[in-house]
Structure 1
Amino acid sequence: MERLLPSDPSLIGGHRLAGRLGAGGMGVVYLARSPHGAWCALKVIRAEYADDQGFRARFRREAELASRLTSRWTVPVVAADADARSPWLATAYVPGPSLAEAVALHGPWPEAQLRGLGTVLAEALDGVHAAGLVHRDVKPANVLLAVDGPRLIDFGIARAVGATALTTDGSVVGSPGYLSPEQARGHTVGPPSDVFSLGCVLAHTVTGRPPFGTGGAAAVLYRTVHQEPDLDGVPEGLDRTVRRCLAKEPERRPSARELRDILGEFAADAWLPEGLPALVAARAARVLDLPVPEPTMVAGPAPVDPYDAQPSPTRRRLLVAGAAAGVTAAAGAGAWWQWGRNNASANTGSGRRARHVVALLGNPDRPFYTAQERGARLAVEQHNQDARRTIDLVLRTTDDRGTARGSAAAAARLADDPDVSVVIAAGTNATVLAALPPCTEARLTVLVTRADHDDLNLVNTTSALVLRSTRTVGPGAALRYLNRAVKPGRTVIVHDLATEAESRATINITSPHGKLNGETVIEEVAADQDFTGAARRIATRPRDAVVFGGVNPDRAAALARALRNAGHQGARVAGEHVLATPFLAVGEGWRIGTGYIDASADPRTKAFAAAFRTRYKRAPGPWAAEAYDAVRFAAQGLAHLDDDGRSTLRSVLLRRPWQGITRRVSFDAANQYFQANDDGGEFLYVVTGGAARFVSRSDDIPKKT
C-alpha cells in the first residue's frame, strides 16, 4: 500500500481513505474505512470515462450485477455510486498477498494445493457466470490469498453476457499471457474465455512461469493465438485438464462447474503450501496496525464529500496544519495526516527550491546525440525560467563512449552519485541495455528516448521507462498507412533472416490481432541470398503491398532495387532503421514508420521548433523533441517526490498519464504495461528525392496519402 497523494480526497461517499492500493488504466483503488467501520477497497473511475454517459449506464448495470454475486470465493460489492462526479465502487477488503506475489516469493505449488486452489476458483467463476457476468481478467494478480481460502477480485472489466461491453468489439481487453485467443483477437467473449484464463493461472502456479512466455504484449498475444502452451512441469495428473482449459477453440474447454468437479475437494485446513500461511497471516495482521482515519475538516459543518465538492489540496494542507496546531479538530488528526500523506514537495514552504540533476547518457560522436542534447537543454532552460516552478533542474552530460562497456561504467558512476535524480538514455540498444543493471540496482530511473529493444520495456524487472514504441509493435505508422490509405487485398511481409530477431517482431505483430487488415503472406529470404527471386515472386501480383521486416539499410536498399527491377507497383513500407544513405538513394516512394517526429512540420510541435531555432539557429533534428519531452516528463515527477528521494520517482511517474508534445504516455497497472505511443506517438515519413519527408502522426494519416 502507498501513501495518499496531496491531490487525493480524504472522503468518498462517506468512506474515509487510508491509502492507495493501486492505480490502473480505469482508475485508482484506495483502502478506505466505510461509514460502518469496515475496511474496504474503493475503486474510483477516471474522469475521462465518467464524462461518457453511456459508460455510466454500463458501470451502473455491471455494479448491480456484481452485487448479486454470492459465492464465498468472490469479494462482495458493498457500495457503489454511478452518479457521483467520479463513479466509484467499494468491495470488501482482503488483507492478503496476491497469488502472483506468493508464487514469486515462494515458488511453484504442489499438485494437492493446486487442485484445491483450482476448485475454489472454478467455483467462483461458476457463480460469476451464473450471475450473467464474464470476468475477462482472471490472472494471478487478481487472486488474493486469505487465511480461509483464495478470493477472486477485480471485476473492473467484467461484462454482462450478451450485453454491450465496456469496450467495443475489436479491442483487446485483459492481461496478455492470461487472456484467451478469442480475447486476443478482440472478439466477443463468453464464459469459456474465463476458463482459458484459469488454465493459464493454474499452469503458472504449478510451474512458476506463464504458459505463453514473457516479453512484449504483442509477442505474448501471438503465441497465445498461434502456438501451444509451455506446460513442462505440470504434473501428469493435471496435464490433460490444463490442456483442455487451454484449447484454442472455446467449445472444447470444460465449463467452470465441470472443472470444479474434476479438480476435487477443497481442504480448508491445508490448502496453502509450506511457508505461505505465515505470509498470509502477516499480511492480515497489517490492517490491525493501521490508524483509524480521522476527518480532515476542522470542527463546524459536517464534512463534505470531496468527490462532490472537493476542497483544494492547498486548503486541505491548511486544515491539517490547523489541526496539528490545536485548532478544534478531532484528536489525532495531525498524526493521521503525517502517516497518510506525502509532502507535496520537499520545497514547499522552505523558501528554497530543491535542485535535481538530470543526466543525459550518450556519445557525442553518435548520430542524433547533438539533437537530443539540445532538446534536453532547451527543456531545462525553459523549466528554470518558469516562476511557478517548485524545483530547479541541472543538465549533466555523460559520455557512454558508444560501447556497452563504456555505458555500463558511466551508468555505475551516475548510480553512485546521490545528486543525480534521473538518467535520460540517449544511446543505442546495445549501450542502453548495458546501462540498466547498475541503475536498476540503485533504483535510479532511466528514461529511454531512442533505443527500441523489447528487453528495455520490462516494467517489473528494470528501472527503465521507454518513451517510444518498441519493435514489438512493428513500424506502427507504416502499418496504419497500409490499413487506412492503401487497403491492399494482400500484403507480403519480407522476412530478412540477416536480422532475424528484429524481422520476427514485425511478423508477430501483423497476425495475432489485426495490425494488418486483409490477407498476409511471408516471403523468407536467407541471410546469404539477394532479393531477386523474392521480388520476382512478389511482382506476379504487382499491386500487393510489401512490408520489409528487417532493419539493415543495405539489405533494404537491395530489396528496393529488386522490386523496382521486377516491376512491382504496390505500396512498400519499412521501419526507421533503414533510413540511411544506401536506402534513401533507391527507396523513392517507400513509406517509413518512425518513433521520432519532424518538429518543424507538425502543428503540435511548432512552438518547440521555433524556440529551438531561436536558441540554436537551426531546425531541430530527429529525436530533439523526444529528449525535450523526456526532461519535461521527469520534471513533473520530480516536483512530486516525497522524502524517499529519487528511488520513488519511477512509481510517481507511473501514477498518472502525461501528455507531451510528441506523445501521451500512460501505465496500465492491471497489465503491467507502460504505453508510449498514445495520441499518435508513431510517425509516418515518405522517401522522396533521396530524403525522408514527414507526412503525419499515425493518428492523423489521411485516407489518401
Structure 2
Amino acid sequence: MERLLPADPSVIGGYRLAGRLGAGGMGVVYLARSPHGAWCALKVIRAEYADDPGFRARFRREAELAARLTGRWTVPVLGADAEAREPWLATAYVPGPSLAEAVALHGPWPEAQVRGLGSALAEALDGVHTAGLVHRDVKPANVLLAVDGPRLIDFGIARAVGATALTTDGSVVGSPGYLSPEQARGRTVGPSSDVFSLGCVLARTATGRPPFGTGGAAAVLYRTVHKEPDLDGLPEGLDGIVRRCLAKQPESRPGPRELVDVFGEFAPERWLPEGLPALVAARAARVLDLPVPEPTMLSGPAPADPADAPPSPTRRRLLVAGAALGVSAAGGAGAWWRWGRGTASPSDGSTRRTRQVIALLGSPDDAFHQNQVRGARLAVEQHNKDAGRTVDLVLRTADDRGTAAGAAAAAARLAADPAVSVVIATGGNTTAPATLPPCTEARLTVLITRADTEELNSANTTTGLVLRITRTTGPPAVLRYLNRAVRPARTVIVNDLATATASLSAVRITTTYGKLDSKTVVEDVAADADFTAVARRIAVRPEDAVLFAGVRPDRAAACARALRDAGHRGVRVAGEHVLAAPFLAVGEDWRVGAGYTDAGADPRTRAFAAAFRARHGQPPGPWAAEAYDAVRFAAQGLTALGDDERSTLRAVLLRHPWQGITRRVGFDSVGQFFQVQEDTGEFLYRVTDGTARFVTRSDDIDAKT
C-alpha cells in the first residue's frame, strides 16, 4: 500500500481514504473506511473514461449485478455511484496477498491445496454466472487469499471499463495467458470462457508456470489459440480435469458445478500450503491495525468568498510544486497554477487568446524527427495566422537522444513544466513507449505519430493517444493489396524468429484473425538461419504470394535475395520497418505498407506539399505530413479545452473523430484504441530501382492497383 498523494481527495461518497492499493490507466484503487468503520477497497474510474454515456450505463448495470453476489468466495459490494464525475465502486477489503504473489514467493502448491482452491473458485464462478455476469479476467492477481479461503475480485467492472475485451483492431487489453481462445479471437464469450481461465489459474498454481508460456502478448495468444498447454509437472490427479478446462472448444469444458463435484467440498482447515498462513496473517495485521485516516485536505464550513476557499486537489499539488521552485501563490506568480497559460487580452477589443505550448520530443539526429519538426512548425505558423483563433500555439522541441532512457528523462522534464500543454512523441518503438510513464503521472497528454509497437495498444495510460494503426493489425495496406488486387490462391507468411514478437503480430492477424482471403501457410525461419531452404520450398509453387512478417531490413533483404535466387515469381509484400538501404538494394518490385504518405505524390496532400516547399525550400519527407496533422489535431482539442487544465485534454480529444490530410483520427469510446476504418492512414509503396515509390492510399486499393 502507498500513501495518499497530495492530489487525492480525503473522502469519496462518505468513505474516508487511507492509502492507495494500486493505480492504472483506468483509475485508482484506494484503501478506505466505510461510514460504518469497515475497511474496504474503493475503485475510482477516471473522469475521462466516464464521458461516454454508454460507459456509465454499462458501469451502472455491472455494479447492480455485482451487488447481487452473495457467495462466500466473492467480495460484497458496499456502495457505488455511476453518476459521480469519477464513478466509483466500494467492496469489502480482503487483507491478504494475491495468489500471484503467493505462488511467486512460495512456489507451486500441493495437489490437495489446489483442489481446495479449485472448489472455492468454481463455486464463486457459479455464483457470478447465476447473477448474469461473466468475469472475463480470472487470473492469479484477481484471487486474494484470506485465512478462511480465497476471494475472487474484480468481477463485472473489468467488463464495464473494457479492460478485458479484445478490441476490434485485434489488440488485447486484458491478460494474455489467461484468456480463452474465443476471447483471444475477439469472439463473444460466455461462462465457459471463465472456466478456461480457471484452468489456467489452477495449472499455474500447481506447476508454477503459465500453461501457454511467457513472452510477448502476440506469442502467448497465438499459443493459446493454436498450441496445447504445457502441463508438465501437473499432479496426475489434476491432469484430466485441468485439460478439460483448457479445451479449445467452449462446449467441451465442464461447468462450475461439475468442477465443485470433482474437486470436492472446500475444507477451511489447512487449505493454504505451508508458509502461507503466516504471510496472510501478517498482511491482515498490518492493515487492520491502521488508525482511522486523517483528512488530506482542509475541511470545514464553505467560505463566503471563493477566493478564501481551500485550493482544489490539482491546484494544491501545483502550489506545493510552486513552493518547491520558490514561486509564491500570490503576487508575481499570477496565474502560474493554471498550467502556465498566459492570457492575451488586447485593449482593442480583439479576440482573447490563451497561450498553449506544444512540445515535439525526438532526436535531432533522426531524419524522421527533423521532417516532423518542419511539418509541425508549418502547422503552428498557419494556425497563428488565423485572426479568429482563441489559442496561440508555441512550438518547442526536446531531445530524447534516441534512447529509451533519454526519452523518459526528457518526458519527465516536460511533465514537470506547467507551461507545456501537450507532447508529440516523434520517435519509434524504442523511445515512444518510454515517454508515457512520467507523462501519465503528470496527466500530460502524449500524441504518438510514428511508433507502432504492441506496447502502445494497452489502455493502461491516461495520457497516450496513438495517431496511427499499430503493428497489431499487421500491415493493412499490403493485406488489402493481396485481397483486392492480387487475390492469390495461397499466401506464405515468412515468420522471422529473429524478431519473434514483432513477426507474430502479422502471423496472428493473417491466421488467427483471418485477415487474408487466401489460404495461408506459415514458414518459420530460425533467428540464426538463412532463408535458402524456405525460399526453395516456396518456389515449388512460384505463383504463391509471400508476406515477410519480420521487421529487420537486413533479414528482409536476405529473404528477398533467397526468393529471387530460387525463382519465385509471385507477389512479395512487407511492412514499413524493412524500408532501409539493405532491403531497398535487393527488394525490386516488392510492395510495402507504411504509416506515412509521400506528400508530394499523394493527391490529397498536394496543397500541404506546396506550402511546405514554400516555407522550407524542400519537399516534405516521411512523417512530415503526419506531424502537421498531429499539431492540428492537438490545436482543435486545445481550442475546445478553454480554461480547463491540461489533464483533461485527452478526454476532449477522445470525444469526436477528426479528419486530417493524412488520415481520419478516431478512437473507440471504451478501449480508446485507434479505430480501424476507411481512410486510416495506411499507404502502399513499390520498390523500384532501389527506391520506395508511392502507389496509393490503402482505402484506394482496387483490382487495378
Deviation at 1:243, TM superposition (A): 3.6
The change in CA–CA distance for 1:604 and 1:514 in structure 2 (over 3 A counts) is same
The change in CA–CA distance for 1:46 and 1:411 in structure 2 (over 3 A counts) is closer
Q: Deviations over 1:53-77 (max 9, x none)?
A: xx95x77766655444321322445
Deviation at 1:256, TM superposition (A): 1.8
**In structure 2, C-alpha distance between the alignment counterparts of 1:516 and 1:554, rounded to whole Å:** 24
The change in CA–CA distance for 1:693 and 1:359 in structure 2 (over 3 A counts) is closer
Residue ranges of structure 1 left out of the alignment (5+ in a row): 160-164, 299-319, 327-333, 401-406, 641-647
1:260 aligns with 2:260: yes
**In structure 1, C-alpha distance between the alignment counterparts of 2:266 and 2:498, rounded to whole Å:** 54
**In structure 1, C-alpha distance between the alignment counterparts of 2:530 and 2:234, rounded to whole Å:** 38
**In structure 2, C-alpha distance between the alignment counterparts of 1:572 and 1:464, rounded to whole Å:** 34
Deviation at 1:170, TM superposition (A): 10
Paired residues of 2:177 and 2:220 also in contact (CA < 8 A): yes
Query: Residue type of the partner of 1:195?
Result: V
Correspondence for 1:404? none
The change in CA–CA distance for 1:98 and 1:634 in structure 2 (over 3 A counts) is farther
1:325 aligns with 2:311: no
Correspondence for 1:94? 93
Correspondence for 2:198? 198
Correspondence for 1:72? 72
Q: Deviations over 1:429-473 (max 9, x none)?
A: 6x759x969x99xx9999876566668989999x99987666554
Paired residues of 1:145 and 1:151 also in contact (CA < 8 A): no
Correspondence for 1:395? 397
**In structure 2, C-alpha distance between the alignment counterparts of 1:235 and 1:505, rounded to whole Å:** 34
Deviation at 1:264, TM superposition (A): 5.0
Correspondence for 2:326? none
TM-score by length of 1: 0.66
Paired residues of 1:668 and 1:674 also in contact (CA < 8 A): yes
Could you say what the CA RMSD is over the residues aligned between the two structures, in angstroms? 6.2
Correspondence for 2:157? 156
Q: Deviations over 1:61-108 (max 9, x none)?
A: 6665544432132244566788x6999684534365772773598464
Paired residues of 2:97 and 2:283 also in contact (CA < 8 A): no
Deviation at 1:325, TM superposition (A): 2.8
1:538 aligns with 2:541: yes
Query: Residue type of the partner of 2:91?
Result: A
**In structure 1, C-alpha distance between the alignment counterparts of 2:44 and 2:209, rounded to whole Å:** 31
The change in CA–CA distance for 1:243 and 1:580 in structure 2 (over 3 A counts) is same
Paired residues of 2:16 and 2:293 also in contact (CA < 8 A): no
Q: Name which of 24, 28, 53 aligns with 1:50.
A: 53
**In structure 2, C-alpha distance between the alignment counterparts of 1:93 and 1:665, rounded to whole Å:** 38
**In structure 1, C-alpha distance between the alignment counterparts of 2:248 and 2:208, rounded to whole Å:** 22
Paired residues of 1:549 and 1:574 also in contact (CA < 8 A): yes
Query: Residue type of the partner of 2:686?
Result: V
Q: Secondary structure at the match of 1:72?
A: coil
Correspondence for 1:549? 549
Paired residues of 1:360 and 1:373 also in contact (CA < 8 A): no
Correspondence for 1:306? none
Paired residues of 1:575 and 1:592 also in contact (CA < 8 A): yes
Correspondence for 1:245? 245
Matches within 5 A, 1:627-642: none
The change in CA–CA distance for 1:244 and 1:528 in structure 2 (over 3 A counts) is closer
Q: Deviations over 1:314-345 (max 9, x none)?
A: xxxxxx8957837xxxxxxx49x559975599
**In structure 2, C-alpha distance between the alignment counterparts of 1:653 and 1:232, rounded to whole Å:** 47
Matches within 5 A, 1:357-376: 360-362=361-363, 364=365, 367-375=367-375
**In structure 2, C-alpha distance between the alignment counterparts of 1:572 and 1:619, rounded to whole Å:** 29
**In structure 1, C-alpha distance between the alignment counterparts of 2:203 and 2:608, rounded to whole Å:** 51
Matches within 5 A, 1:132-531: 132-145=132-145, 149-156=150-157, 174-205=174-205, 210-231=210-231, 238-261=238-261, 262=263, 265-267=266-268, 271=272, 272-283=276-287, 288-289=292-293, 291=295, 322=305, 325=308, 334=310, 338=313, 343=318, 350-352=334-336, 360-362=361-363, 364=365, 367-375=367-375, 394-397=396-399, 407=403, 432=431, 450=450, 471-483=471-483, 490-495=490-495, 503=503, 505-523=505-523, 527=530, 529=532
Correspondence for 2:686? 687
Q: Deviations over 1:563-588 (max 9, x none)?
A: 9x6554xx543111333567668867
The change in CA–CA distance for 1:60 and 1:458 in structure 2 (over 3 A counts) is closer
The change in CA–CA distance for 1:457 and 1:130 in structure 2 (over 3 A counts) is closer
Q: Deviations over 1:416-436 (max 9, x none)?
A: 98998799876676x759x96
The change in CA–CA distance for 1:510 and 1:36 in structure 2 (over 3 A counts) is same
Query: Residue type of the partner of 2:397?
Result: L
Query: Residue type of the partner of 1:527?
Result: D
Query: Residue type of the partner of 2:592?
Result: I
**In structure 2, C-alpha distance between the alignment counterparts of 1:287 and 1:652, rounded to whole Å:** 38
Q: Name which of 543, 550, 558 aligns with 2:561.
A: 558
**In structure 2, C-alpha distance between the alignment counterparts of 1:409 and 1:189, rounded to whole Å:** 40
1:594 aligns with 2:594: yes
The change in CA–CA distance for 1:529 and 1:583 in structure 2 (over 3 A counts) is same
Paired residues of 2:43 and 2:90 also in contact (CA < 8 A): yes
**In structure 2, C-alpha distance between the alignment counterparts of 1:220 and 1:585, rounded to whole Å:** 35
Query: Residue type of the partner of 2:622?
Result: P
The change in CA–CA distance for 1:559 and 1:251 in structure 2 (over 3 A counts) is same
Query: Residue type of the partner of 1:151?
Result: L
Deviation at 1:196, TM superposition (A): 1.1
Q: Secondary structure at the match of 2:211?
A: coil
Deviation at 1:608, TM superposition (A): 7.0
The change in CA–CA distance for 1:656 and 1:169 in structure 2 (over 3 A counts) is closer
Q: Deviations over 1:177-203 (max 9, x none)?
A: 211112222334332211111122234
The change in CA–CA distance for 1:566 and 1:253 in structure 2 (over 3 A counts) is closer
Deviation at 1:283, TM superposition (A): 4.7
Deviation at 1:614, TM superposition (A): 5.1
The change in CA–CA distance for 1:338 and 1:251 in structure 2 (over 3 A counts) is closer
**In structure 1, C-alpha distance between the alignment counterparts of 2:257 and 2:611, rounded to whole Å:** 65
**In structure 2, C-alpha distance between the alignment counterparts of 1:381 and 1:277, rounded to whole Å:** 64
**In structure 2, C-alpha distance between the alignment counterparts of 1:297 and 1:629, rounded to whole Å:** 49
Q: Deviations over 1:520-578 (max 9, x none)?
A: 11356761528763454233xx4x54322344453454377579x6554xx54311133
**In structure 2, C-alpha distance between the alignment counterparts of 1:417 and 1:158, rounded to whole Å:** 36
Query: Residue type of the partner of 1:325?
Result: D
The change in CA–CA distance for 1:357 and 1:491 in structure 2 (over 3 A counts) is closer
Correspondence for 2:351? none
TM-score by length of 2: 0.66
Paired residues of 1:215 and 1:454 also in contact (CA < 8 A): no
Deviation at 1:172, TM superposition (A): 7.1
Paired residues of 2:212 and 2:220 also in contact (CA < 8 A): yes
The change in CA–CA distance for 1:599 and 1:109 in structure 2 (over 3 A counts) is farther
Residue ranges of structure 2 left out of the alignment (5+ in a row): 323-328, 342-356
Q: Deviations over 1:362-402 (max 9, x none)?
A: 362x65343144346667888999997799764244655xx
Quick check: 685-694 or 30-39, which moved more? 30-39
Correspondence for 1:696? 697
Percent identical among aligned pairs is: 49
Q: Secondary structure at the match of 1:198?
A: helix
